Chain A
Amino acid sequence: MAPLEPWEKVLVVQEDFLGDVHGQTQCIFCHGGVQDPDKETAHTGLVADPDSGETNICQNCHADTDHTFEASLHATQGGYWTALDARSAPEDHAALETMFGNHCASCHTTCGDCHISQPSSVGGGLIDGHVFEKTPSMTRNCTACHGSRVGNEYLGKNEGYASDVHFRAGRMKCSDCHTGDAMHDSSGVCTECHTTPEGGQPISKMDRYDGTQAPACESCHPQVGADGDEVLQHTLHGDKLSCQVCHSLSYSSCDGCHVAVSEKTGNPFFETQATYMTFFIGRNPDPSYHRPYEYVPVRHIPVDTQSYAYYGEDLLPNFDALPTWAYATPHNIQRITPQNESCNNCHGNTEIFLTSDKVKPEEVTANRDVIVPQVPAAR
């Protein structure tokens, strides 16, 4: 995404902005500062992002949304901490918090990062002359952060691989599946429609695959697997396979992201060792009521034992607690894929299953719950 010029980032389109209800109040009500013709004086006490931290002005009118958003994964980045906590020991947390602040926290999302500006992680700047957009822009908000994997898959930017059918044929935007309710609330509001068994575990949503699937493919495709479904494969496989096992194309995996702070500039930076296209079916490491599948696609995530070595020795002593080939939901869905064209494109095809020979020796233990010991026999 091309960066905006400094003036472009703060250019307000008067007619559009003042036509919005948010334009009915004075700028200094939200941004502080002083009404003065001199720039320096006017900017005294300026709050550029009035929707972040204790100054969050949005909650004055949007208290309900703001209340749930504060605890959502977009706001807390809780998914990162779920993984970091599992792989580390309590005594490592101080060093990891420093690492997190330097390298991960810039992806923390505020109200404005989705509804007014481009995210600060890509340089910020007003999207549309300070007009408040109820629905975020797919390319300037959503894939600005979720670009290298989801964005490239969905929009067909991985060379040789088609875009997702929902985009190509349906021109669907992220928000068509990922609703505002789900984006603003990770606590399990979805269970209002999708019931859990009596006594089922409460939805804690400590990562994006916790709890109810939201969105779920079946929400729009309820006929799949139901009585009368004419696609035999749906009935045969039932809940053994996640939808993506049959309907996604290859997707990118990454190896060894290492982070550090530059001695030269003092800026934090990262280096990813390799990025490559894969399609591997692995075992579901954590089957649940909502994701009962035996097999799911798995993607190699860019972590290794030395990822945070700059911040201390052996900061991930429990590295093997989680797989490095992680449950994935690729966003390049097709009706017909290489693996679903015939039974034996999958059955007996060792190339597309994550068997131990495809896992780095030092990561075999971490991936013990994901590695497929025996490929389903050919038909």
Chain B
Amino acid sequence: MIQTFFNLEIIAAAWPIVLSGLLNTVLLSLIVVPLGLFGGLILALLASVRNPLVRWPLMAWVDFFRAFPPLVLLILLFAGLPFAGLELGGFACVAIAFFLNTGSYYGEIFRAGIDSVPAGQVEAGRSTGLSRLQAMTHIVLPQAVRNVLPDLLSNTLEVVKLTSLGSVVAVPELLYQARQAQSLTYNPTPIVVAAIIYFLMLWPLVRLLSRLENRALVGRR
């Protein structure tokens, strides 16, 4: 059993491949998380304009991408766009799909955070002579982000896990490299190793989150 699923010789042989996959996963996360945060912030700032002509289309946009499985979006870009003469490559497709998909999730979270700051605070800020933008960046956003920090972290965890979809469009991240190593060695050990790496990498975040979430739900009573 151990010879099959946790073969030390195979680990030694596959380690360079798996390690390069890990580096790419970290790199990919460092790119798509800020991208999603940025997209979400823009969505939430636009939604804070209380004009229904802006707010409704935005809500439709967000619901659209919440209903759309990220893998479908990714395949649509990767396999569909070349027919329109646009060949983007796996990496660019992942970046765009994540920007659209995770941006919508981050947007919902930021919006909830902004809504959680009482309107009186903006009014007070405005009456001391701050512009609308200044009131938003100096008064509302700092509090909003603090109020929804657990949700932001939880979504970030999901985004990092989602980078494994890159393997479907041949982005050489951790899962893809592990599968390559598996087919080279005819042994499932590299995939097991990849799973262990994911677990060790994300476990601390999961622990932290489960504490924060329990406190949030219990504290509400």
Partners in one complex: no
Chain A: residues with CB nearer than 8 A to chain B? none
